[in-house]
Amino acid sequence: MNDSTNLSADQQSSAQPDLFNQALTPAKPSALRKIFIGADGLRALWSLLIFTALLAALLMGVNAVGKRMHLFPPKGATNTELTSRFVFFSESFPFLATLLVTWIMSKIEKRSISVYGLARSARFPTSSLV
C-alpha cells in the first residue's frame, strides 16, 4: 500500500508543501507592466499611440493602393475636377479605416466597440434631431 493512504487527513495536509498558498499570492508586477498596463487595462496614452500608428499605416497603404489603381488624380495635375468617384473614395477610405482601427483597438483592449461612442443609441441622438 501507499504510505499516503495510511496517513490521516491532517498528516497528509501537513506533509504536502504549501504550494497552493504560494500560487495564490500575486507576484509583484514588473516595471514594464506598470508602464503599459494600468488598473483599467492598457493605459490611455499607449492606446492613443497604437491607434494613431495603426491608422497612419493603414491610410498610407490605402493611399499607395489608390495611386496604383488610379483612383486619385496624380500630384500636380492641371485638369483635376471633383468627380463622384474621387469624392466617394476620398471620403469613404478614411472613414472605413477609422472604423477598422477602432474595431482592432476594441479587440486589443478587450472592450466592446460601443465603448468608443459607436453604440446604436449614441450614433443618432434624438434630442438634436428635433
pTM: 0.59
Domain boundaries, the chain: 44-129
Read off the C-alpha cell for 27: 507576484
Measure CA 113 to chain center: 10
DSSP classification of residue 82: -
Sequential pLDDT tens for the chain (130 residues):
555 555 555 555 555 555 555 556 667 777 777 777 777 777 778 888 989 999 999 999 988 887 888 766 677 777 767 778 778 877 888 899 999 999 998 888 888 877 777 666 655 556 555 5
Q: Are the beta carbons of 83 and 48 closer than 8 angstroms?
A: no
What DSSP designation does 74 have? P
